[in-house]
Amino acid sequence: MNISKIIDNVPDYKVFLTVDELDESTMRLQSKYPDVVKVFEAGKSRENHSILCLKIGSGGKNAFCFACPHPNEPIGAMTLEYLSWALAEDDEFRESTGYTWYIIKCVDPDGTKLNEKWFKGPFTIYNYMKDYFRPGSEQQVEWTFPIDYKNLHFNEPMPETKAIMGVIEKTRPEFMYSLHNGGLCGAYWYITHEYKDIYDELRETALKNGVALQLGEPESPACIEFSDAIYKMAGISEDYDYLEKYSSKDPEKSCYGGTSSSDYALRFNDCVSLMTELPYFSDDRIADSTLTNITRRQSIEDKLKNTVEHYRKLDRELNNVRKYIAPDNPFILLVDQIISEIDSSVNAQKKWSDNPKFERPAKVSEVFDNDLVSKFYNSLSTSLCARACQHEINKLKKDGCENDEALCLLEDVYEVLSDNLKSECEYLENKLNYKVVPIRDLVRIQIESGLIVARRRQKSE
């Protein structure tokens, strides 16, 4: 498998493709290479948008790749856009992989469309945040797979999740790539299998493209670290066990939705699953292991204090208009979920960090993660609240309620939240030393990481 040639040919993408543009490219690929490429409908979204799946090649094993299981994460869509064309155009490359490839470029088209206003740039923190959308956990494609674990029972997969389930059940892939990314972070990986011999290769894919490794705090306290920036791919059971150990609340009451795609795929065979998490905005402090003069525990406690204050403030603003926000308003679900869990979540993290190993001096990367990275992600909730208000304002205006009391209150809160978001973004702009990572480099990292693991899976037979 000549990986270097494929990596070198990644185009210098300047923007992210929309759902319609991705679909058009998929159908065009089939038309151009009908002997190699077949397109079928894996399912339909909740809004009845076709979820198109490509079948490329005829290798002896099956690989399944899908992007946008979180709709604010389109890097993977560009990765699969390039990979699908490379596989179709290059016979030698396609055949050398040994796989038949199943590819869904966008598995949550409805949610992805709610992010598209920032897809064409300019790529600034404010432009990204003001048009950001992420659904609540119970509406996230990646986390609504069926599960029965201890007292947690979930069997209500979304239509989009059912589309993935159908492909998994049909193809029983040996390699599966769920394409994700962060916003402000370093590069890190989740993998189901402990392949120690490829960890350095994976890390090098990021470093040679100028993206720092994620050496701050893990994404979740439940994460199991295999090596620097490389974690065990998990299902919901790991989160459940963490909550069971550290939370005073019944774990099943804090587990919204179900388990992950990787967990589901392992029901059928020994599927190796990978995620390559990458940033839009990169600050080298996320990889700085220099020790600071505060403890890691204090750094975590400072983060928790700031987070509680942030969501208390959001909650107060929302309380002014909650009765005017419809239950099906998509923008408010994740924020309300976080607010409802904030006390139990914070108490669990305090108990988790009440351990002698947290008494050591914190690294710069950990302080940076607990301070500025945490504030970055908190600000995304400010944006979601503003968009929730705007959503209701638009509905009222459409219905002709120009002088309605609800409209006035919603507009007042929307203005407050919009101003808060601008202030929060200005603060981040002043405190961060970030660069916007070129899309081409992000695609290169995800493509190479995927091919490294796909190749390693072949060797494990």
**187 pLDDT higher than 70:** yes
Summarize the confidence of residues 253-280 as an average pLDDT.
Answer: 97
**461 pLDDT higher than 80:** no
| pLDDT tens digits, 214-266 | 999 999 999 999 999 999 999 999 999 999 999 999 999 999 999 999 999 99
Query: Is residue 2 very low, low, confident or very high in pLDDT (cuts 50, 70, 90)?
Result: confident
| pLDDT tens digits, 286-327 | 999 999 999 999 999 999 999 999 999 999 999 999 999 999
Architecture of domain 289-433 in this structure: Up-down Bundle (1.20)
**1 pLDDT higher than 80:** no
Give the model's pLDDT for residue 340: 97
Give the model's pLDDT for residue 265: 98
| pLDDT tens digits, 383-417 | 999 999 999 999 999 888 766 889 999 999 999 99
Give the model's pLDDT for residue 103: 99
Give the model's pLDDT for residue 400: 81
pTM: 0.97
Query: Among candidates 109, 32, 36, 39, which has minimal Cα distance to 69?
Result: 109
Query: Is residue 460 very low, low, confident or very high in pLDDT (cuts 50, 70, 90)?
Result: confident
- Sequence spans of domains, the chain: 3-283+438-459, 289-433
Summarize the confidence of residues 59-79 as an average pLDDT.
Answer: 98
| pLDDT tens digits, 365-374 | 999 999 999 9
| pLDDT tens digits, 114-147 | 999 999 999 999 999 999 999 999 999 999 999 9
Give the model's pLDDT for residue 403: 67
Q: What is the CATH number of domain 3-283+438-459?
A: 3.40.630.10
Query: Is residue 45 very low, low, confident or very high in pLDDT (cuts 50, 70, 90)?
Result: very high
Summarize the confidence of residues 7-25 as an average pLDDT.
Answer: 98
Give the model's pLDDT for residue 210: 97
